[in-house]
Structure 1
Amino acid sequence: MKTSYLLLCFTLLFSHIGFSQVEYKVLESKKLQAEREIKIQLPRNYKSNTDKTYPLILVLDGDYLFEPIAGNVDYYSYWEDMPEALVVGINQSESRKEDTRLDIQDQLPLDKGADFFEFLGGELLPLLEENYRLSNFRIIAGHDKTANFMNYYLLKENPIFHGYINLSADYNDRIANNLPEIISSSNNKIWYYIATGSDDAGKLEEVNSQMIVELEKIDNEKFFFYSNNFEDATHYSLVARAIPDAIEGIFSSYRPINTKDYEDEVLTTKGSFYDYLIDRYDFIEELYNLDIKFRINDIMAISAAIEEKEKFDQYKDLGKLAQKEYPDSMIGSYFLGRYYEENGRPKRAKKEYLVAFSLNETSYLTKDMMLEKINQLKENFGL
Structure 2
Amino acid sequence: MKYIFCLCVSFFFAVNTMYAQYKKTTYTSEKLGEDREIIFHIPENYDAKKKYPLIVVLDADYLFETVMAASGFYTYNDEMPESIIVGIRQENSRLSDCNYNEDTGFPKDKGNNFFEFIGMELLPSLADEYNLADFRIIIGHGLTANFINYYLFKDRPLFDAYVNIAPTFAPNVTDYLTSRLSTLTIQKFYYLITSDKNRDAENAARIEELHQSLQAIDNDQLHYNFSIVEDSDNYTVAAHAIPRSLYGIFDLYQPIPPEEYEKEVLSYEEGIVYDYLENKYNAIHGTYDVDKKIRLNDVMAIYAACLEKEDLPSLESLGKLGKKEFPDTMLGYFFEAEFHEKSGNTKKAMRTYEKAFLMSEIDFLTKDMVQERIFNIKKDMGW
Instruction: Read off the aligned partner of 2:189 and give its amino acid letter.
Output: W
Q: 1:124 and 1:15, CA in 2 relative to 1: closer, same or farther beyond 3 A?
A: farther
Q: 1:304 and 1:145, CA in 2 relative to 1: closer, same or farther beyond 3 A?
A: same
Structure 1 counterpart of 2:53: 55
Indicate the larger mover: 96-105 or 347-356: 347-356
Structure 2 counterpart of 1:29: 29
Are 2:231 and 1:232 aligned?
yes
* Alignment map for 1:230-269 (pairs within 5 Å): 230-269=229-268
Instruction: Read off the aligned partner of 1:342 and give its amino acid letter.
Output: K
Structure 1 counterpart of 2:356: 356
Structure 2 counterpart of 1:292: 292
TM-score normalised according to structure 1 size: 0.89
CA-to-aligned-CA distance 1:93-144 (integer Å, 9 cap, x gap): 1221221112333332222211111110111101111111111111100000
Report if the CA contact (8 A) 2:166-2:234 is conserved.
yes
CA-to-aligned-CA distance 1:253-279 (integer Å, 9 cap, x gap): 222211111111111112211112122
Report if the CA contact (8 A) 2:102-2:171 is conserved.
no
How far apart in 2 are the matches of 1:231 and 1:264? 29
How far apart in 2 are the matches of 1:218 and 1:20? 44
* Alignment map for 1:177-256 (pairs within 5 Å): 177-203=175-201, 204-256=203-255
Structure 2 counterpart of 1:380: 380
Instruction: Read off the aligned partner of 2:338 and give its amino acid letter.
Output: R
Indicate the larger mover: 165-174 or 101-110: 101-110
Structure 2 counterpart of 1:323: 323
- What SS does the aligned partner of 1:206 have? helix
- What SS does the aligned partner of 1:173 have? coil
* Alignment map for 1:56-205 (pairs within 5 Å): 56-203=54-201, 204-205=203-204
TM-score normalised according to structure 2 size: 0.89
Percent identity (aligned): 40
How far apart in 1 are the matches of 2:357 and 2:62? 51
Instruction: Return the offset for 1:20.
Output: 7.0
CA-to-aligned-CA distance 1:190-216 (integer Å, 9 cap, x gap): 110011111123133222222111111
Structure with the higher fraction of residues in strand conformation: 1
Instruction: Return the offset for 1:186.
Output: 2.2
Higher relative contact order (CA 8 A, sep 6+): 2
Report if the CA contact (8 A) 2:54-2:133 is conserved.
yes
Indicate the larger mover: 354-363 or 215-224: 354-363
How far apart in 2 are the matches of 1:131 and 1:91? 20
Please list every run of at least 4 consecutive aligned residues from structure 1 whose deviation after the TM superposition is greater than 4 angstroms.
none
Indicate the larger mover: 286-295 or 223-232: 286-295
Report if the CA contact (8 A) 2:274-2:302 is conserved.
yes
Q: 1:42 and 1:378, CA in 2 relative to 1: closer, same or farther beyond 3 A?
A: farther
- What SS does the aligned partner of 2:140 have? strand
Give the length in aligned residue pairs: 368
Q: 1:341 and 1:26, CA in 2 relative to 1: closer, same or farther beyond 3 A?
A: same
How far apart in 1 are the matches of 2:371 and 2:42? 43
Q: RMSD over aligned Cα, in angstroms?
A: 2.2
Structure 1 counterpart of 2:369: 369
How far apart in 2 are the matches of 1:87 and 1:355? 46
Instruction: Read off the aligned partner of 1:282 and give its amino acid letter.
Output: N
Report if the CA contact (8 A) 2:266-2:305 is conserved.
yes
- What SS does the aligned partner of 1:32 have? coil
CA-to-aligned-CA distance 1:325-365 (integer Å, 9 cap, x gap): 22223211211121122223333323333333343332222
Instruction: Read off the aligned partner of 1:177 and give its amino acid letter.
Output: D
How far apart in 2 are the matches of 1:350 and 1:18? 52
